[in-house]
Amino acid sequence: PRGDRDVRLHERDEPAARIVHQVVLNGSAQCVVTADGVAYVGTSNGNLVAVDLAGGTVLHSLPVGLAIHDLAWHGRILLAATVSDLRTFALEGEALVQLDVQPLSLFPEGITGQRRVSVSRGIAYATSYPGFDTVEVSNPSALVRIAAATEHGPNSFKQLLPTGTGL
């Protein structure tokens, strides 16, 4: 949804998807992940918004302060890659609570201007211009950067990251 000013929820069981709900956001939708019937949307103006998939209502909005480029789940912990850091969030009831922040090295990818995050086996991989930072996330309240992105020549393959499948 990068750049959309709203989120459209579609019926997936219909041959021609139709818009079921349209939720207007304060900012452009940059990324969306889902869990337990809720869509979590990261926006360009730094809000993390929880939207009920069935009803299309906003359940919760948390100001993060920086554009959210990507979201990923690690068990019950939500990771958010912003323009300059990696953050962890936990659900307390229906509300998201920030647990920790780990600054990331360098700047977002040069062509898209975005960061991506992937997580596998307790390690998050957050992209930067020359590659990716690795961050230990097994204790989401105490993030530890394992290694910063380093320049190794062409930057062509930084989007190839573990998916958690073990393959």
Q: What is the largest CA-CA distance in the chain?
A: 48
Q: Which positions ≥6 away from 38 have C-beta within 8 Å?
A: 50, 51, 52, 53, 59
User: How do residues 129-166 score in pLDDT, each as one tens digit?
Assistant: 877 888 999 999 999 999 777 776 665 455 555 555 55
Q: Is 132 exposed, middle or buried (0-12, 13-18, 19+ CB in 10 A)?
A: buried
Are 59 and 52 in contact by the 8 Å Cβ rule? The answer is: yes
Distance CA 62, CA 34 (A): 16
The pTM (predicted TM-score) of the whole model is: 0.81
pLDDT tens digits, residue range 103-135?
998 877 777 778 889 998 899 998 888 778 889
Type of residue at 54: A
* CA dist., res. 57 & res. 144, Å (int): 35
